[in-house]
């Protein structure tokens, strides 16, 4: 199973990490990917000056805002299939 980790540290929390988690949950459900991808919360990715940190399979953190979350998902998750 592949893993999407979203930082929920205080900086990312204030920048909308829980909105991103909600969006990712909805999209995983919409595209029936719950059995292929696990969505996890992670504490502090040391990328606090940027938008919310999102990692895929332990990658370096991507910087994602709630406004870009759906586009990020389409590019990194749907195209990864």
Q: What domain range is 68 assigned to?
A: 2-80
**Is the separation of the CB atoms in 9 and 43 below 8 Å?**
yes
Which portions of the chain are predicted below pLDDT 50?
A: none
Are the beta carbons of 12 and 58 closer than 8 angstroms?
no
Q: How many domains in the chain?
A: 1
Q: What count of other Cβ atoms lies within 10 Å of the Cβ of residue 23?
A: 20
pLDDT of residue 54: 97
CA-to-CA distance for 63 and 2, rounded, in angstroms?
19
pLDDT at 62: 95
* Residue 37, phi then psi, degrees to nearest 5: -125, 135
What local confidence, expressed as pLDDT, does residue 69 receive?
Answer: 97
Q: In this structure, are residues 61 and 53 in contact, taking their beta carbons and an 8 Å threshold?
A: yes
CATH number where 27 lies: 3.40.30.10
pLDDT attached to residue 81: 63
């Amino acid at each position: 199973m592949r893993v999407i980790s979203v930082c929920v540290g205080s900086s990312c929390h204030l920048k909308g990490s829980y909105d991103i988690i909600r969006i990712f949950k909805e999209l995983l459900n919409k595209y029936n990917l719950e059995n292929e991808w696990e969505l996890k919360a992670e504490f502090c990715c040391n990328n606090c000056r940027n938008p919310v940190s999102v990692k895929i399979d332990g990658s370096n953190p991507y910087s994602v805002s709630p406004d870009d979350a759906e586009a990020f998902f389409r590019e990194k998750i749907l195209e990864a299939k």
